[in-house]
Amino acid sequence: MQTHTHKIPLRSDVSEEYKWDLNKLFPDDTAWESALRDFEARASTIDAFKGTLGQSPARLREALDCLHDMGLLEERLGYYAHLRVSEDIGDSNAQGRLARYISAATAFSARTSFLTPEIQTIPDDTIEAWLTGDETLEPYRVYLRKLLRYKPHVLSENEERLLAMQTEFSQTPRNGFNALTDVDMQFGDIETDEGRKPLSHASYASFIQHPDRAVRRAAYQRYLAEFDAHKHTLAALYAGSVQHDVYRARVRNFSSSLEAGLFSDDVPTTVYDRLVETVHEYLPVLHRYYTVRQQTLGLDELRLYDVRVPLVHGVKTHYTYEQAVDLIVASLQPLGDEYVRVLRDGLLGSWVDRYENKGKRSGAFSAASYTGDPYILMNYKDDVLNDIFTLAHEAGHSMHSWYSVRNQPFAHYNYTIFVAEVASTFNEQLLARHMLASTSDAALKAYLINKQVDDLLATLFRQTMFAEFERTTHAMVERNEPLTVDSLTSAYRELLTTYFGPAVPLEEHSALEGLRVPHFYSAFYVYKYATGMSAALALYDQVINGGADERDRYLNFLKSGGSKFPLEQLRDAGVDMTRPEPVRTALQRFEGLVDELSALL
C-alpha cells in the first residue's frame, strides 16, 4: 500500500511496483529511438506498390502485408510515446518523443494515401472474385469489405486530393474553440468556507457538487457568465463546424450529415431517431426524480445548480488499491474463471499505473495496443469510493481489448466507439450489484443507488439531449437556416425546458451550455454513450439471469473486436439495437432505481 500525503510525489519517487511496465512495447527510450529510425527508413517501401494493386490478389496481399507490418510498428511507437507523456506531462523529453512520432506518422499517412482510392478503382466484379474465389486475401477480408462500402462516396482522384488538402484548416472551428475555452477564458475565483478557490473547467465539476448551495450558485453563474462574454465567437465557431459537416456530407453524396456521421458504423438513422423518441417517453420519470431531489434537499425550488449535488452525505469508505482489486474481482465472478484470473493478474501486475505523481495526466483511461498490455492509467485514492468504480470501468475496456487481441488479426481487432462503452458499463453494473448485496449500511446503499441513478441520467437522458441538439442544428443548416447566438440558444433552451420539466426553472444564461460542449465538434458522437449504456444493461440482465450460454455469448462479443459492424456484434450477443426495447429496458431500470432511492430516502 502506498502512503498518501498532501505532498504529490515526483515520478521518480513512486515505487516501480505501482507503475505500469511498458517493456512489451519497448524496453527503454533507446530502443524506441532505434525503432523510430527503422520506421522512418522503411516508410518508402510502400511506394513500390503504387499503381500495381489491381494486378492480382497476390500483389494486393503483398501491399496489405507491408501496411500491416508498418502499422504494427507505428502503433507500438505511438502508444509508448503517449503513455510516457501521460506519466509526466511536464517531461520535455517525453513531449519531444511524442512530437517526433506524430511527425513520422503523419508523413507515413500521406505516403499511403494512394492505397484506399486505388483499391476502390479495382472493378467490382474483380475484387469480388478475389474476395470469394481463394484464400489469398482472407486476413484482410473484413478490412476490405468495410473499405469498399465507401466506394459510392469516393470522388475522383483530383477531387479527393482537394478534400485532403482541406484537412488541416477544417479543424479551425475545433482548434479555435479549444484555444478560447482552455486558454483565453478566465473564470476567476469562488468564495468558499475554506477561502477563495479558482474556478476552471476541472474545478467546476467539484463546485457544482458542493454541499453549500451558495457556492454552487456562484460557480454556475460565474462559469456561464464567461461563456456569455464570448457567446458570439462561440456561436460562430460552432456554426462553422456544423457547416463543414454538412458540406462534407453533400460533397460525398450522403442524403444528410446525420447519415454521413453514422455511415462508418453502418448504423441507420432510424436508430438515432428511435433513441430520441424512446427517451422522450420516459421524461415524466426524469421529472419525478427531480421532484425527489428537491424534496430530499429540502428546497422550495430545484435549480440547475442543484441537480448534481449528491443526495447522500457522510458515507466514508477506505479501500487500499489491493482491496479494491479484490472487490472488483469478486463482483466479476459471473464472467467466469478466465476473465477474473487474467484481470486480477493484470491489475496487480504490470497493467496499471496506480497513483498520482507530479505532472501525471489527471483522470483515468485504458490504452490497449496489439503488442502491449491493455494498460490503465489511474490516480487512485483510498478514500474515494468512485475510484473503485473507475478502476472497474477501465478494467472492462482492458479486458475487451485483451479478448479482441487474442481472437482477431491486427487488421480488425480494434472495436468501434459504438460498442466501446458496453464492457466498461457492464463491469460497473456487476460491481454495484455486488456491493449492494454485501452491505447492510442503509446510507451506503442509498449512496450506491443514487450513483446509479445519476450515471443513468447523465448517459441516457443528458447525452440524448445533446444528440437531439446536434440533429437540430445540422438540420437547420441543411434547410439553409442561419446558426446564430439567438437561434442556437433558442433551440437549446427549448431542449432544456423539455428535459428538465416545469419544476426546474432555467437561469438567464442556462442555454449557453449548448455552446460549451467539446463533443459537439465531433458530430453525432454523443448518442453512442446512450446506446452503449442500453446495450450493456441488456447484456448484464441476460448474463445475471441466464447461464453459461448467455455468458459465452457476451464473451464472444468481447472476442469479436472490430470483425463485424457494431449492430451485428450486439445482435449476435442477444441485443437488437435497431429496436426500441434495449433503450426502453434501460429507462425502466432508471425508473425502478428512482423508486428504490425514493423509498430509501
Contacts (Cβ under 8 Å, ≥6 apart) of 288 = 594
**CA distances for 496 relative to 187, 266, 303, 452, angstroms:** 24, 30, 12, 22
Residue 401 has a pLDDT of 97
Residue 445 has a pLDDT of 93
Look at strands 195-198 and 374-377 and give their pairing. unpaired
d(CA 423, CA 399): 8
Residue 1 has a pLDDT of 46
Residue 4 has a pLDDT of 43
How remote is the C-alpha of 144 from its chain's centroid? 26
Instruction: Supply 429's cell numbers.
Output: 453494473
Q: Which residue has the cell 423509498?
A: 599
d(CA 487, CA 472): 11
- The one-letter amino acid at 221: Q
CB 331 within 8 A of CB 355: no
Q: Where are the alpha helices (DSSP H) in 253-304?
A: 257-263, 269-281, 283-297
CB 559 within 8 A of CB 404: yes
Three-class HEC string of 390-457: HHHHHHHHHHHHHHHHCCCCHHHCCCCHHHHHHHHHHHHHHHHHHHHHCCCCHHHHHHHHHHHHHHHH
Residue of 313, 314, 339 whose CA lies nearest to 328? 339
User: What's the pTM?
Assistant: 0.90
Three-class HEC string of 34-97: HHHHHHHHHHHHHHHHCCCCCCCHHHHHHHHHHHHHHHHHHHHHHHHHHHHHHHCCCCHHHHHH
Residue 452 has a pLDDT of 94
Backbone φ, ψ for residue 208 (5° rounding): -75, -10
Instruction: Output DSSP code: residue 382.
Output: T
**CA distances for 222 relative to 180, 189, 201, 207, 309, angstroms:** 17, 9, 12, 11, 18
The 10s digit of each residue's pLDDT in 535-559 is 999 999 999 999 999 999 999 999 9
Backbone φ, ψ for residue 374 (5° rounding): -80, 80
The 10s digit of each residue's pLDDT in 439-461 is 999 899 999 999 999 999 999 99
**CA distances for 546 relative to 330, 357, 551, angstroms:** 19, 43, 8
Low-confidence ranges of the chain (pLDDT < 70): 1-6, 157
Query: What number of other Cβ atoms are within 10 A of residue 258's Cβ?
Result: 23
Residue 546 has a pLDDT of 94
Mapping DSSP to helix (H, G, I), strand (E, B) and coil, where does residue 237 land?
helix
CB 104 within 8 A of CB 112: no
* Residue boundaries of the structural domains of the chain: 11-168, 241-311+416-601
Q: Which CATH architecture has domain 241-311+416-601?
A: Orthogonal Bundle (1.10)
The 10s digit of each residue's pLDDT in 353-412 is 999 999 898 889 999 999 999 999 999 999 889 999 999 999 999 999 999 999 999 999
d(CA 53, CA 533): 42
Mapping DSSP to helix (H, G, I), strand (E, B) and coil, where does residue 324 land?
helix
Active site positions, annotated:
394
Contacts (Cβ under 8 Å, ≥6 apart) of 150 = 116, 120, 263
CATH 1.20.140.70 assigned to domain 11-168? The reply is yes
